[in-house]
Chain A
Amino acid sequence: MIPVLLILIPLLSGLVTFFLKDERAAKSWSLLSSLITLAVVSSGLIIYDHKTESNFDVAWLPALGSRFSLELDGMGKMLTLLTAISFPVVFATTYKNNHKQSGSFYALMLLTQAGLMGVFLAADALLFYFFWELALIPVYFLCSIWGGEKRIAVTFKFFIYTFIGSLLMLAGILYLYFQTPDHSFAIKSLYSLHLSVKDQNVVFWLFFIAFAIKMPVFPFHTWQPDTYEQSPTAVTMILSGVMVKMGIFAVIRWLIPIFPDAMAHFSTVIIIFSVIGMIYASLIAIQQDDIKRLIAYSSIAHIGLMCAAIFTHNKIGLEGVMIQMFNHGINVIGLWVVADVIEQQLGTRKLSELGGLAQKAPTLAILLVVMALANIALPLTNAFVGEFLMFNGLFQYNVWFAAIAGISIILAAVYTLNMIQKIFYGNTVSITVNAHDAKNNVQWILIVLVVVVLVLGVYPEPLINLTKDTVNTILINR
């Protein structure tokens, strides 16, 4: 029952929200809905640990061989948890932000959540495709209506990019469908396919391009910085915190087990591109003056590492990816929260215009520093565990790749510390003279995130245990 609830709650409450005219009503309603979703996810983690409770399967399109089939495995549990945490965090931190037509805004946010949940739960390729698109359409409207100045062109680029990817994936899904002996979209039928190497090498790319655009991996990343910059911050948090995980998740769930030969064949190429992307994005991040763009490029670098670690295809690398998917979501949302506080309060995101904020907002400074250290993956923060495992995996695959990718850690320290220094230290400037600490709701959320960062930094065991079954399934399926 739990998987269905995870989709139904945001879907139905989202549809209701369209009709809420009052801004406060829309805000509290959507916050309530997201908290209920979180409660359901948590209860799924704690109470039920049986297979029967975590699967759901009814007939949907019998004529096409597609079923409405949901499955909650370890990776699914972790990512639905991330999704369920992110939305209340986003709603709570942006509670004081004003959105025109807030009813529609929150409705579209909740629909996005439904789509994301569906993507992480679907155990049927056609259903997966449906949710993949369902997550995209509301985001398109969110960014285009509530975004920054250049929002229309930028969001359109984002939409076209991802839509081309999805359509290629659809062609791939269809092709696989006709290869299955029982003409079915079920993930089990696809897993048991034995495609010829020639087929794999073609269809692999149809899927991978879709996922690579979503992640995004170099050279498919060009939509990302613009979109992050132009989107309203609430949406950016979801985009970078949860949505990019769709790409990584999809590679692990839908690509590796189905195309083992193509995977072995192309892994070196893809790792090379990922590593190039890491260095490239880090170098660009150093030169950014806009906080949002800086975080965007830093995010590309981190995603690049995750992509590379997946394609090393060893246990340690995959475990690292699993942990890091969750941790990156938490960390990047934390960074966006701080960026949003600064923008809402001071009206600028330019590093060159800021300075000395630590004197005026000490609590915020402390919290950001912890988040920033997590971004660099310092020991004792959650990201350290994940990155360590991933580098370890990469090292086992090829020493040189690990060495080159390692440079990005140093570069990450450069741009992150540079950002902290420019925002918080030095003399106060005219803009920051009247600054003050963040509002209570934001501070509490940040404190919670910081606690998560530290706890998972010292004790990552729960995440590893949670996703153990998925890692094993994938490695066995080779």
Chain B
Amino acid sequence: MATVPAYTPDALIAADIDAYLAQHQTKSLLRFITCGSVDDGKSTLIGRLLYDSKMIFEDQLAALENDSKRVGTQGQEIDFALLVDGLAAEREQGITIDVAYRFFATEKRKFIVADTPGHEQYTRNMVTGASTADLAVILIDARKGVLTQTRRHSYLAHLIGIRHIVLAVNKMDLVDYDQAIFDRIVTDYAAFAESIGIAGFTAIPLSGFKGDNIAAASANTPWYGGPALIEHLETVTLDSEAAVVRPFRLPVQWVNRPDLDFRGFAGLIASGTIRPGDAVRVLPSGKTSRVARIVTMDGDLEQAVAGQSVTLTLTDEIDCSRGDVIAAADAPPQVADQFRATIVWMDGEPLLPGRAYWLKTGAGTVSATVQPPRHAIDVNTLAELSVKTLSLNDIGIADVFTDRGIAFEPYADNRDLGGFILIDKITNATVAAGMIDYCLRRSQNVHWQSIDITREAHATQKNQNPRVLWFTGLSGSGKSTIANLVEKKLHALGKHSFLLDGDNVRHGLNRDLGFTDADRVENVRRVGEVAKLMADAGLIVLTAFISPFRAERDLARSMLPAGEFVEVFVDTPLSVAEARDVKGLYAKARSGTLANFTGIDSPYEPPIAPEIHVDTTRETPEAAAERIVEHVLGIWAPVL
């Protein structure tokens, strides 16, 4: 049994405890992760760090000596690995099966170590442990050099955005502290690191077992002039400090409303600095205000910085709820609903493209679907693989669509606003971790501009309630004819209206669209958006489009406040419409010169419960129009 000195506390503790405490009140905090396989001596290294920083007590040491004799793998020597291999199952198998967190402190810093396993099947654990780390210690067995798993760990650390990599070349004692071996490993690793975009790393020759270059420079490696491991960990720059100089972002976690006089927005500042009086913008609404107070139980603050949990009050009563982001008014993050993302799948049940999952980011949770992956990445070879789905521990690139816009930043700029998890809606399991690479072109750079004249104001000025009368039916059913009559009647009654006609819109706005199913969907989506804008302007909008698919009509309905969408089904049997054939289109379709014609070789899905049903075989256009106007006027609530 090696003689291990017992715990020797800092002399200052006994001499002047208050001075010691004052010194330790101002420590900073570094989180790091250790990566390596079972055989690299990772647990031993962590045990050694705990031991060398005096975190091991006499009773623990006694238990350790006891355990080392019983189940240790180091013969009569103390097996430091036993300090950290926690769960009973692991002891039996001699492996680490999950992320464990360890703590130690030096005079300069407190450290939180995420200890994660190196097995391939536990990619998810390493990604989990790395997600909060500032630094990664990649362990290499000096006898083995750079292995596949070294590349895998380095890739994952880099993927998760860790900027400080330590290459810990361990077990130097077993290669006689040979500089040539160390140098060759460093050269090999440097070539690989550069190839995957790691900007720099610090290589340290050490022995966790013997303690070389852990707490202090080792006499066994006189050729090494760099820092010992602990010294390096004490001095490396913290990511959290870098976040302070970025623009201000506060994901709102909780709206604090103890009474009608106080409305505070609470959250953890993701980046930047804030002071009372600073102009802020609330995303996604885009509304602006100023910070009134930074409220804490210890009194108001004059300034708060990234990493603090605060409660802000604003000078204006604006809408802001959980999931919104309060940001610097002059440098707000983007709002988008479509992203390119890197996804790490973490569940036994594979990704189902198109299925709706909960996506949680910042403080907000939205519904999202993942498109089929563009490709997956082989973590060993870094090759791009063509895949249809993602399974446990797969990493892939895919597009993610959310059901509403969220404020975000690319993950590379901000982990809190760029990282997300996906949650299965049925099992509630966390099935994936994702990192936003960028938003897709279509939704990029579109900020919601806050407007002072609201839709209510527009409607009030016109003395009417906005409506969208959505006429649907086969070609030649009489939609345009009836819509036209309705609009004339509304106009005569002094109502402000606009008729969007299918044929007319296809000459302009939708000139680029054809008649495939996909183009029909897009045609209706655009018309729905235009109708919504016009309704926002206070108008009564009439649309006359075949709009054959139920889903797209429902989409248009969902864009509007409840009650504003009035579906008018102009119901004319195909035989009647075809017999009328006002534009000669049915003849063309039957002769094959016009493809994808609704009713002939493209389906029409009739409404199930339209607000108004017009049977044109029983009712004249004039009578139908009169009934529609009466119906619409009849259900109009008085203007506020």
Do A and B pair up? The answer is: no
B binding-site residues for A, Cβ under 8 Å = none
